[in-house]
Amino acid sequence: MKKRILIVNVNWIGDTLFSTPFIRAVRDAYPDSYIACLLHPRCVEMLELNPRLDEIIIYDEEGVHKGLFGKLALIASLRKKRFDTAFLLHGSFTKAFIAFLAGIKERVGYPTKKRQMLLTKVVEAPSEELHKVEYFLNIARAYGLAPKSVSYEFFIDDSHKRFIAGLLRESGVSEGDRIVVLCPGGNWDPKRWPKENFAALADTLAKEYGVRIVISGARKDLRLAEEIRGMMKAKPIIIAGRMTLKELGALFLHAGLVIANDSGPMHLAVAMKARTIALFGPTSPAITGPYGEGRYKVISKNDTCDIPCYDVTCRDNRCMAAIKVEDVLKEAKEALMTNCRAAR
């Protein structure tokens, strides 16, 4: 009988991407098994088309599964699927309790939130902070699996590529144009490099290298993108809010360079093997920075504050302001020159 495995995943886009080396390790160890992933609705797009998964099960904690009856319905559904093993990447007590009530006999994870009594295999927490990729893979290794790669994965199809090709054409991008994509957003303000810096950098790159500047982001970043455009002499293309995450992944295939704050889009660029400059301030590159194979450079000049810092109310932003336009320009020039040499 094929082994039936449930991976109880985390709730954030970037962390879900960090879980893909774990998913690959499980599939490599059990190539004939049935593997499903329990996932928050906002993260589904990160794992859609992933060939290592047989099923994505949505756990809508704020919606249909919010109350007691919603959770009981989820538990009943999981029971019918008769999973043998649950890997609990998420550290919550509730998710471990759901796996227990769903009758999953083997439950593997860290003893966070005082849930060790719900686990059949307790994975000892690491003595020092690990990158999130390694934090998840530590569970795999403790279970006896041997991950072959630490690089994360993101999958798109031809429809996403066609959409982006059409969007760029409509925006006046010719086939021979070189594109630099800026991702100035972030899920909280202290992680964002100053918008005037993005504007100054973009103008210099457009003038000196003749690149087309594309400002990307979610719909909520549209105002920020417009503000950056208002500070620029060059005319950037704003496509913030006009694409899905899959289509954003396809955009990165066209990019000669991506410059991004610590954010989900930055990690998508790395996953798509785009040349990427990642700007870090309050967060730690050692924990949530780019990881595995890829063409990326991290710039972090925080020497005044302890990191990681999760003070979302901080208005000082000195850690991001410490990264000067010249710092990013130096790395951007090297990346663009490297691309030129590779194209010859």
Name the residue ranges covered by the structural domains of the chain: 4-142, 158-343
The arithmetic mean of pLDDT across residues 46-54, rounded, is: 98
pLDDT tier at 209, thresholds 50, 70, 90: very high
112-120 contacts, C-beta under 8 A, 24 or more apart: 118/93, 119/88
Q: What percentage of the chain reaches a pLDDT higher than 90?
A: 84
The CATH superfamily assigned to 158-343 is Glycogen Phosphorylase B; (3.40.50.2000)
Tokens of 216: 């990307």
Tokens of 185: 């957003």
The region that residue 317 occupies, defined by phi over 0 for left and psi between -120 and 50 for alpha, beta otherwise, is left
Q: Which amino acid would we find at residue 318?
A: R
pLDDT at res. 339:
62
Q: What is the CATH number of domain 4-142?
A: 3.40.50.2000
Spatial strand order of the sheet with 121-122 comes to: 55-58, 34-39, 4-8, 85-88, 106-109, 121-122
pLDDT tier at 333, thresholds 50, 70, 90: very high
What's the half-sphere exposure (Cβ side, CA atoms, 13 Å) at 55?
15
pLDDT at res. 126:
92
For residue range 90-144, list pLDDT tens digits in order. 999 999 999 999 999 999 999 999 999 999 999 999 989 999 999 999 999 999 9
Domain 4-142 identical in fold to domain 158-343: yes
Helix (H, G, I), strand (E, B) or coil at 339: helix
The arithmetic mean of pLDDT across residues 20-45, rounded, is: 97
The answer to whether residue 159 scores a pLDDT higher than 60 is yes
Of residues 333, 183, 344, 203, the one with CA closest to residue 251:
183
Q: What percentage of the chain reaches a pLDDT higher than 70?
A: 98
Tokens of 246: 């899959």
For residue range 249-258, list pLDDT tens digits in order. 999 999 999 9
